[in-house]
A and B are shown apart, each in its own frame.
Chain A
Amino acid sequence: MLAARTAIRVLGLALFVAVVVVVPSRISEFRASEFALIGIFFIAILGLNILTGYTGVISLGHGAFMAVGAYTTAILMLGRPGLEAGGLSPPDWLPVGDGMKDVYTIPIAALVAALAGALFGLPALRLSGPYLALATFGVAVATPSVIRKFDSVTGGSGGLNLFDSPNLTGAIFNAVHVPGGRTLTFNDWLYYLTWTIALALFVVAWLIHHSRLGRALRAIRDDEIAAVASGVGLAWHKTLAFSLSALYAGVAGSLLAMSAFSVQPGAFPVDRSIALLVGLAVGGLGSLVPLVAGAVFLVFLPQWAQDLSQAPGVPAVIYGAVLIGLMIVLPTGVGGLLRRVLGPLTSRLYPRSQ
């Protein structure tokens, strides 16, 4: 029985990988960049799910951690020479380096975001429910002005341009050489990079779900007092969840900086944080694979709404109405629907929640 279940899982994962690999050859070059964007949001939503799905803490501030990741990547890629060439003067004590290849900045962006998450989570997690949610909302609100304030290293409201940087893989439309002798366009490269990382982080999320940590986190969500009584360290686990979740957001932000080949404060407005929560709700709290649906929703629904009508305000009405309708029909998101439909077939394929 156990072997069969593992086989199904491995098969499912292999299918997922196969789809991801094949997709670029079926779509246009532009669509590849759109699918990369879906991957980026998928990563961020996976991260938010670790926090909200497992510990029940609602964060409306994950756009801020994306900004931390994005700016870490951008600043490290440019390094001191790049920043100074752009007319900036980063303070001497700041270790911005001399310019670093984009992919190497991703783990650093992840760690910096995780640290930021821990630093915020440590005090903030004393707050409960709505107070914590609104505190994170405050962080999201404050992010753009904080970035603008430190313009000697962030470039202020104009931000940082990465397109011309030699550290951007595939910069200025140079073909990207990948192992195996193939060359990729920038958009295809972005797609493969994003989805490789997304798959890796997906597996990590899955492992967390099935680990002691995952069980402890869910115990906290279901009943804090009972969890403490059974020896779960509340503060430590919550901070860890917050930090892990910020780490995912940081990776997503780092990839977003590459995808948009630039960073600006205006790329991280409050709406960004709210969108991630919406994506999680649509994908389904506590799910894993169905979260892709949430990311697809975030990338495509605004476009579909715009295609229907460009009259002032109408796309927003359509977007809002579809979102509300979806929540009424699928209150547990796409993940909840799949659990209901597939539950009897593969009772353990999808992590349970609720």
Chain B
Amino acid sequence: MADFLQQVVSGLASGGVYALLALALVLIYRSTGVVNFAQGEMAMFSTFVCWELIDRGLPYWVAFFATLAISFAGGVLIERLVVHAVSRAAAITVVTVTIGLLIMLNGAAAWIWKGEQRTLENPFGTRTFDVGGVVVAVQDLGILVVSLALVAALWVLFQRTRLGLALRASALNPESSRLHGIRVSWMLALGWGLAAVLGAVAGMLVAPTQGSFDQNLMLPVLIFAFAAAVLGGLDSPLGAVVGGLAVGVILNLVGAYIDFFADLRLPAALLVILAILLLRPHGLFGRAAVRRV
């Protein structure tokens, strides 16, 4: 039993990691209607920025918040310079641009930071405690708490503020939003900026869980974050977190207890998600609305 619970706990821990990036994906999808393939690389880039700031002598928390600010500016800049230019094009064009960003950011990080293994401080410390034979790490709890706090913050933003309303409106119906005096194109830029901030949080918290990181930090995480976001519902922040945790637990249980799937954790988890999607085509918490990819 302790074994089983340990599998669940470690699944929740890796799920927390997927959830963080999935939240950023959901935010950008919800506020701009784009599935952003560069989300992981933006997060990776932010993580390197944080590393660089610490390397130049800034204290951790100063570097942390400075990175959030820089990432926000970077996200807005990307939207203004690149994404905005194709905002009226077909979905495939927008997707292709985010793929171009993915490739470019990965290359730029390899160029600037030389592809070396770097380490980033873990803000939650390395302590663990034992609950009836099941080991729980403070770091993993910290990641879970942060992702839930972010869900709450996003809920407040989207449901309780005028800004959030404007964000949702411009994603759903740019034309009529414009008629209502919303500066739609700035709302989209704001959406990218906020998603970059969430990505930065994800990157800075995920990197320590991996021991060390290089420019490929987020490529595998992105795959699971997509799975998480789809499972939870692409437009639901809560769904992203629940989806992330579910993906983490499913991966572990399927891999650990069904021998046939021991080498097939990844395909098996994707199969389970597909099966769930067939029952709920818009994810666990998503709402049916036809929008572009």
Question: Which A residues form the contact surface with B (CB < 8 A)?
Answer: 52, 58, 123-124, 126-131, 133-135, 137-139, 141-142, 145-146, 148-149, 270, 274, 277-278, 280-282, 285, 311-321, 323-324, 327-328, 331-332, 354
- Point out the residue from B35, B89, B107, B274 that lies within 8 Å of A316, measured CB to CB: B107
In B259-293, the 8 Å CB interface with A consists of 263-264, 266-267, 270-271, 273-274, 277-278, 281-283, 288, 290-293
Q: Is the CB of B96 within 8 A of A323?
A: yes
Chain B positions within 8 Å of A324 at CB level: 82, 97, 100-101, 104
Q: Could you write out 26 A-B pairs with CB less than 8 Å apart?
A: A52-B92, A128-B290, A129-B290, A131-B234, A135-B230, A137-B223, A138-B274, A142-B266, A142-B270, A146-B264, A146-B267, A149-B263, A277-B92, A277-B96, A281-B95, A311-B111, A313-B111, A313-B215, A316-B110, A317-B107, A319-B104, A319-B107, A324-B101, A328-B82, A331-B86, A331-B89
Chain B positions within 8 Å of A139 at CB level: 270
B148 at the interface (CB under 8 A from A): no
Given contacts A324-B82, A331-B93, contact A278 B264 (CB under 8 A): no
How many residues of B sit at the interface, in one of the four size bands?
Answer: 35 or more
Chain A positions within 8 Å of B89 at CB level: 327, 331-332
The count of A-to-B residue pairs whose CB atoms sit within 8 angstroms is 157
Closest residue on chain B to residue A320 by CB atoms: B104
Q: How far is the CA of A30 from the CA of B64 in the complex (A)?
A: 52
Distance (whole angstroms) from the CB of A306 to the closest CB of chain B: 12
Q: How far is the CA of A316 from the CA of B226 in the complex (A)?
A: 23
Q: Is the CB of A130 within 8 A of B96?
A: no
Q: Is the CB of A313 within 8 A of B266?
A: no
Which of A126, A278, A313 has most B Cβ within 10 Å? A313
B114 at the interface (CB under 8 A from A): yes
B66 at the interface (CB under 8 A from A): no
Q: Is the CB of A58 within 8 A of B293?
A: yes
Interface of B is mostly: helix
- Point out the residue from B95, B270, B277 that lies within 8 Å of A131, measured CB to CB: B277
Chain A positions within 8 Å of B102 at CB level: 320
B99 at the interface (CB under 8 A from A): yes
Q: Is the CB of B282 within 8 A of A131?
A: yes
Q: Is the CB of B114 within 8 A of A134?
A: no
- Point out the residue from B85, B90, B104, B267 that lies within 8 Å of A317, measured CB to CB: B104
Additional A-B contact list (12), CB under 8 Å, known A285-B90, A320-B104, A331-B88: A58-B92, A127-B277, A128-B282, A135-B230, A137-B226, A146-B267, A278-B96, A281-B93, A281-B95, A312-B110, A319-B107, A331-B89
Chain A positions within 8 Å of B230 at CB level: 130-131, 134-135
Q: How far is the CA of A285 from the CA of B103 in the complex (A)?
A: 22
Distance (whole angstroms) from the CB of B126 to the closest CB of chain A: 31
B154 at the interface (CB under 8 A from A): no
Q: How far is the CA of A149 from the CA of B281 in the complex (A)?
A: 29
Q: How far is the CA of A129 from the CA of B274 in the complex (A)?
A: 14
B106 at the interface (CB under 8 A from A): yes
Q: Is the CB of A130 within 8 A of B29?
A: yes
Chain B positions within 8 Å of A327 at CB level: 86, 89, 93, 96-97, 100
Q: Is the CB of A126 within 8 A of B264?
A: no
